[in-house]
Amino acid sequence: MFAGGYTAGAVEIQTPFDHYRDVVRPEWTDHNQHLNVGYYVLVFDFATDDFLDYVGLTTAHREAQQISTFCLEGHVTYQREVREGAPLRFTTQLLDFDEKRIHYLHKMFHAEEGYLAATNELLSLHVSQASRRATPMTQEIQAWLGEMQRAHDTLGRPEEVGRVMGLRAAPTTPSAGAA
């Protein structure tokens, strides 16, 4: 079901993490009869919740530690449409982390036909609920992320990471300060 694995002690780490599944619901479609742009973000958010649970940032942990995560930045690429009823499979690759941030990439696939439908690159911030400021993750979570990082580094850097949006042609308007 997943591309591969990496053993950290007695634990097999999926490379990439391959767990979240969903289906394109009728209320998520638009006049084009495919998944509406806003619902891509919603279903990717469900995949984020699943991934964060996997790394230890579960609801119970968040409540006990009085922490949360905030999205600092996100980028969605739309590769191919998915229509009502399409089964969806999500993979997540950990790209980088430090004591307060996690950078990762979700890929959405049509679960039966196998094609890549969309990607979502995210940067999440670990936040104290009391101060509403960034705060370090526990040492246990950082250690688990370190193991996961070693496993996911074997995947290489996906081409969708760090993409810049724009047109390929040179700008037609003169730059500021040009005479």
Distance of CA 86 to the CA centre of its chain: 20
Look at residues 90, 96, 89 and name the one whose alpha carbon lies nearest to residue 73: 96
In the CATH hierarchy, which top-level class contains the domain 15-155?
Answer: alpha beta
Residue type at 91 in one-letter notation? T
- pLDDT score at 126: 98
pLDDT by residue for the chain (179 residues), tens only, comes to 335 665 556 578 999 999 999 999 999 999 999 999 999 999 999 999 999 999 999 999 999 999 999 999 999 999 999 999 999 999 999 999 999 999 999 999 999 999 999 999 999 999 999 999 999 999 999 999 999 999 999 999 999 999 888 887 766 766 666 55
Helical H segments across the chain, by residue range? 37-54, 59-65, 139-152
* Alpha carbon distance, N-terminus to C-terminus of the chain: 59
Distance CA 166, CA 170 (A): 10
Residues 6+ apart with CB under 8 A from 56: 138, 140, 141, 144
